[in-house]
């Protein structure tokens, strides 16, 4: 399982370019289906979508994720649950860690640096010239066997923070 911070629409293509375009599914929010072209692509590709307002949807997403991981398919998640508007790392939701621990899958933390400069959080599509260069840092995998969801979440969060510049690190 790949877990990354999320501050820009470009985070998805950055991860795709970094790890390749095969053998994974994204876990995302149902609202993405409303985005023209992207919504159709997500639906056709069979990515895992959940509705934050529906608890059953969350449980179903976790079960699908565990099944995908057990079959060898990788999942990519942004445990913040949404893009950070102020670019600082947000609190993590626990679904990604629940899936990884239950499936016994290692987690690869990813720090996405400066994506917010290339495409700021308030930009939907790249209609303006971008500024800066983004960088993707892939950290060492974290094993989940024998660990709690909370332990894995702390290790992953610390790894992601270690790759972020101060402006993207969470307020203490």
Residue 126 clears pLDDT 60, i.e. is over it: no
Q: Where are the domains of the chain?
A: 2-168
Band of residue 113 on the pLDDT scale cut at 50, 70, 90? very high
Write down the mean pLDDT value for the chain: 90
The pLDDT assigned to 147 comes to 97
Q: What is the pLDDT of residues 35-52, one digit of tens each?
A: 888 888 888 888 898 887
- 3-class SS shares of the chain: helix, strand, coil, % to 5: 40, 15, 45
Q: Is the CB of residue 74 less than 8 Å from the CB of residue 24?
A: yes
Q: Is the CB of residue 165 less than 8 Å from the CB of residue 114?
A: yes
Residue 108 clears pLDDT 80, i.e. is over it: yes
Of 166, 163, 159, 128, nearest to 142 by C-alpha is: 159
Distance from C-alpha of 137 to C-alpha of 121, rounded to nearest angstrom: 20
Beta-sheet pairing, 24-29 with 2-4: unpaired
Looking at the DSSP bridge assignments, the partners of residue 75 are: 25
The pLDDT assigned to 152 comes to 98
Residue 99 clears pLDDT 80, i.e. is over it: yes
CATH class of domain segment(s) 2-168: alpha beta
Kindly state the average pLDDT of the residues 16-40: 86
The H-or-E segment that residue 135 falls in is strand 135-138
Q: What is the pLDDT of residues 149-169, one digit of tens each?
A: 999 999 999 999 999 999 999
Terminal CA-CA length for the chain = 27
Beta-sheet pairing, 48-50 with 24-29: parallel
Band of residue 124 on the pLDDT scale cut at 50, 70, 90? low
């Amino acid at each position: 399982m790949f877990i990354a911070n999320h501050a820009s629409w470009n985070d998805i293509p950055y991860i795709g370019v970094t790890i390749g375009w095969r053998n994974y599914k994204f876990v995302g929010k149902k609202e993405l289906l409303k985005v023209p072209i992207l919504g159709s692509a997500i639906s056709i590709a069979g990515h895992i979508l959940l509705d934050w307002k529906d608890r059953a949807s969350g449980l179903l997403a976790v079960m699908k994720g565990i099944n995908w991981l057990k079959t060898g398919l990788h999942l990519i998640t942004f445990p913040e649950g949404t893009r950070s508007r102020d670019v600082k790392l947000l609190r993590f939701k626990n679904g990604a860690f629940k899936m990884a621990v239950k499936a016994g899958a290692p987690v690869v933390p990813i720090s996405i640096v400066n994506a917010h400069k290339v495409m700021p959080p308030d930009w939907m599509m790249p209609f303006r010239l971008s500024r800066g260069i983004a960088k993707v840092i892939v950290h060492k995998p974290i094993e989940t066997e024998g660990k709690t969801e909370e332990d894995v979440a702390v290790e992953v969060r610390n790894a992601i923070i270690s790759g972020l510049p101060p402006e993207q690190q969470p307020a203490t």
